[in-house]
A and B are shown apart, each in its own frame.
Chain A
Amino acid sequence: EAQVTQNPRYLITVTGKKLTVTCSQNMNHEYMSWYRQDPGLGLRQIYYSMNVEVTDKGDVPEGYKVSRKEKRNFPLILESPSPNQTSLYFCASSPQGVRAPEAFFGQGTRLTVV
């Protein structure tokens, strides 16, 4: 089954404790992105990647890191989480060579930083 898989689905952590949210897609998509969803603000892009070893900042990259060492994986790293990073996070992938490529989203990771 074609899908984007995020782990964990739920995470509660303390301020300053490094964490990684994993994202993996099995559709051989070139493009991958991370978004955070907050009430009243919609989805805001954190980072995106056009291909392996190619990443770029989105609208709200502060406090986050990403890496794209393999095509299928795009982990999101919070080196020192803070309470304002409490949010619902979505990973998405999109294909290349398609007109108006749609985004395929993972199930989301609800992160709480206390």
Chain B
Amino acid sequence: AQSVSQHNHHVILSEAASLELGCNYSYGGTVNLFWYVQYPGQHLQLLLKYFSGDPLVKGIKGFEAEFIKSKFSFNLRKPSVQWSDTAEYFCAVTPSGGYQKVTFGTGTKLQVIP
């Protein structure tokens, strides 16, 4: 079975600071990787996903993530955060090949101070 670790539980940044949120997974085979965002009081929405090819994936709102297979990592980055990025961010993993069980990390709460 797969597992996901998000080591940063709560991150506080000032506007315009750079962001990097860590995500490590454990699984013996090939995987699909996702980052979801949950704005306060709302449901989860997809930010970006990786399934093959270029390990640097670009998503919505200026976010990107890099898949490093040797490190089992899929860290989320943004060069300059805005107050509107205040939200909770979830990394998720699923084995490749059709629909498979999805496992979410415990989430990272990002607070951006104006």
Chain A nearest CB from B93 CB (Å) reads 11
Nearest CB in chain B: distance from A87 CB, A: 14
- Count A-B pairs with CB separation below 8 Å: 55
Q: Known pairs A90-B43, A94-B99. 8 more at Cβ < 8 A?
A: A30-B99, A41-B106, A42-B106, A90-B44, A99-B32, A100-B34, A103-B46, A106-B43
Instruction: Given A58-B101, A96-B99, A99-B52, check contact A105 B45 (CB 8 Å).
Output: yes
Is A101 part of the contact surface with B, judged by Cβ < 8 Å? yes
Say whether B63 faces chain A, with CB atoms less than 8 Å apart: no
- Chain A CB within 8 A of B90 CB: yes
Is B68 on the interface with A (CB-CB < 8 A)? no
Total chain B interface residues with beta-carbon distance under 8 A: 26
In whole Å, how far is B7's beta carbon from the nearest beta carbon of chain A?
13
Residues of chain A touching chain B, judged by Cβ–Cβ distance below 8 Å, are 30-31, 33, 35, 40-45, 48, 50, 58, 90, 92, 94, 96, 99-103, 105-108
Alpha-carbon separation in the docked complex, A44 to B107 (Å): 12
B35 CB → nearest A CB, Å: 11
Asked if A107 meets B42 with Cβ closer than 8 Å, knowing A96-B98, A99-B52, A100-B49, the reply is yes
Q: Which of B9, B45, B94, B99 has the most CB of A within 10 A?
A: B99
